[in-house]
Amino acid sequence: MGGKMSRLRSIWHSMKKRCYNKAHPYYEYYGGKGITVCSEWLLDFSNFKQWAESNGYTDNLTIDRIDNSKGYFPSNCRWVTMKEQQNNRTSNHLITYKGETKTMKQWSESLGIPYRLIKDRIIKSGYSAEKAFSVESYKNIRQVTLNSKTQSIHAWCKELGLNYNTVLSRLHRGWPIDRLFIAKGGK
């Protein structure tokens, strides 16, 4: 039981340091943004410990604020896995698709589309969720028309002296057709 107490006490200390110690490396994201610890927990570890143990604390979980704009207090905190906590970060890019809102990582996992592809399409290319999540938008392209001429991607690469794998990588990252065949340097 000593390990559990020591880890729980460490979580309690770290929580307070993030909120009140200006020298803490993450202070700007917590105390600097007005995040505080309720007086019930701030002043008495035993109150925090009692709440933790009666709310599902185990050694594989971390403390998470449900509403990241609010502080640490019993009704705004929970114990979650590190993966769940990562999905509750304020820096996450949330995407609503077919009436459901998830992070890019969650959409990647549920749709089976590589995370990097979704990120490139939405952030870099500005695609809508519908277009970004459309597997057909890149897998079924066999022939490409440029300047009224239609031929395979391979033929275009050979004609223009471009690396086929580079062009395919651009296609899979969601580049528009008119930019696929641009050589390095923009020509």
Q: What is the pLDDT of residue 15?
A: 97
Query: How far is 48 from 36, CA to CA, in rounded Å?
Result: 14
Check pLDDT > 70 for residue 61. yes
Q: Specify the higher pLDDT residue, 29 or 136.
A: 29
Check pLDDT > 90 for residue 143. no
Judge whether 126 and 136 are in contact, CB under 8 Å.
no
Half-sphere exposure of 94 (CA within 13 A, CB side): 11
Neighbours of 95 (CB within 10 A): 18
Q: What is the pLDDT of residue 133?
A: 79
| Terminal CA-CA length for the chain | 66
Strand partners, 145: 150
**Residue pLDDT, tens place only, 80-121:** 888 777 766 666 677 888 888 887 888 877 777 777 778 878
**Residue pLDDT, tens place only, 73-82:** 999 999 988 8
Q: Could you tell me whether strands 77-80 and 62-65 are parallel, antiparallel, or unpaired per DSSP bridges?
A: antiparallel
Q: What is the pTM of this model?
A: 0.52
